[in-house]
Amino acid sequence: MEVLKRGLLLLMVFMVFQRGEGQLFENFYRGTCPNLEMIVKQVVSTKFTQTFVTIPATLRLFFHDCFVEGCDASVMIASPNGDAEKDAQDNLSLAGDGFDTVIKAKQAVEVQCPGIVSCADILALAARDVVVLAGGPSWEVELGRRDGLVSQASKVAGNLPDPEFNLVQLNTIFAKNNLTQFDMIALSGAHTLGFSHCNRFSNRLYSFSSSSVVDPSLDPNYAQQLMQACPQNVDPSIAINIDPETPRTFDNVYYQNLVSGKGLFTSDEVLFSDPASQPTVSDFASNPGNFNGAFITAMRKLGRVGVKTGNEGEIRMDCTKFKDA
C-alpha cells in the first residue's frame, strides 16, 4: 500500500511538472471571457485589411517576445527613457503594425472583459490568427500567461538568433528555450512571410570572403536580383521580401527556396547546406503537411517559454505600461 501511495505521489508530482512548463490551458478564459478569441480575431482581421504588414509583424513580435524573458509581453513595454526591451538594437526593426495589432486587440478585449486577459495571451492568439489569415494552419492556443514585470533593453543581446548564425549557434540559442533542431527548422518557416532590411544580408552580396565577394551558395540569378534591390549604400529603410516567390502566403515554399539557393540569410541557407539539417528541409520542401504539423507543435512549445503565472506577473490594463506605472 505504501509503495502504491508513493507511486501515486510521484505521478502527481510528475503531472504538476508536466503542467508546470507554463501551467497553461486551452479555453483558460472560458468562464471569464468566453468571446476572447472571437474579439481578437476580429481586430486582427480588421488590421490586416489595412495593411499586410500586420501578418509578419505580429508573428515576429511573438517570437522576439518569447525569446527574451519568456512569452510575457515584455517587448510591448514603452519606456520614456528608451531602455525597454523594444528599444534594444535587435528589436528596433520590429514593425509598428505588430505592436498596434496587440494594443488594439487588448483595448477591444478590455471593453468586454476588463482586467482579465493578459497582453501576453493576446499576442499569442494574434500570432496564431495572422498565420491563418496568410493561408497557414490553425491550432488551439494554450492560455493563462501573465504579463511580465521586467522589460530591459540590456537583456536582449545574445538571446535572439543572428542572420549569420551557423547550425550549431542556431541550435544552441533554441535549446536555451527548450526547442529542438526540428522545432527550429519548423519555426524558421515563418520566413515564408515578412521582409528584411538590406543591411541584414548585404555581406553575402558584397563582402562575403577573401576568395569570393558574393556568397557562392546563393543562386546567381537570385544574387543579381538582391543586388538590384539592395545596391551598395542603399537607403537603410529599404526592405525586401524574405521569400521571393510567395511572400504573402504561409506555405512551404521557403524550404523549396533553400533547396534552390534562395535563402536570404546565412542562417536560412545553412539549414539546407548543413548535412545535419538538410533532410528535414528536404522533407518540408516536399511535404507541406509535415511542415504545417511541425510548425504547430513548435509554436505551441514556443508559447510555453518562460511563462509567468500567479505573482510572477500581472494583468496589464495597457500593454505598453506596467500596471503600477
Residue ranges of the binding site for heme b: 191
- Spatial separation of the C-alpha atoms in residues 46 and 288, rounded to whole Å: 28
- The set of cell numbers assigned to 47 is 488590421
Dihedral, CA of residue 18, residue 21, residue 25 and residue 29, to nearest 10: 150
Binding residues for Ca(2+): 65, 68, 70, 72, 74, 85, 192, 243, 246, 251
115: left (phi over 0), alpha (psi -120 to 50) or beta: left
What is the residue-wise DSSP string for 249-300? S-SSHHHHHHHTT--SSHHHHHHHHSTTTHHHHHHHHH-HHHHHHHHHHHHH
Binding residues for substrate: 161
Is 197 a residue of the active site?
no
The residue behind cell 538594437 is 89
Cβ(77)–Cβ(181) under 8 Å? no
- The set of cell numbers assigned to 36 is 476572447
- Spatial separation of the C-alpha atoms in residues 116 and 130, rounded to whole Å: 23
- Spatial separation of the C-alpha atoms in residues 127 and 102, rounded to whole Å: 10
What is the residue-wise DSSP string for 117-134? S-HHHHHHHHHHHHHHHT
Choice among 47, 60, 64, 316 that is catalytic: 64
Binding residues: 65, 68, 70, 72, 74, 85, 161, 191-192, 243, 246, 251
- CA-nearest of 268, 276, 282 to 215 is 268
By residue count, the chain amounts to 325
> Which positions are catalytic?
64
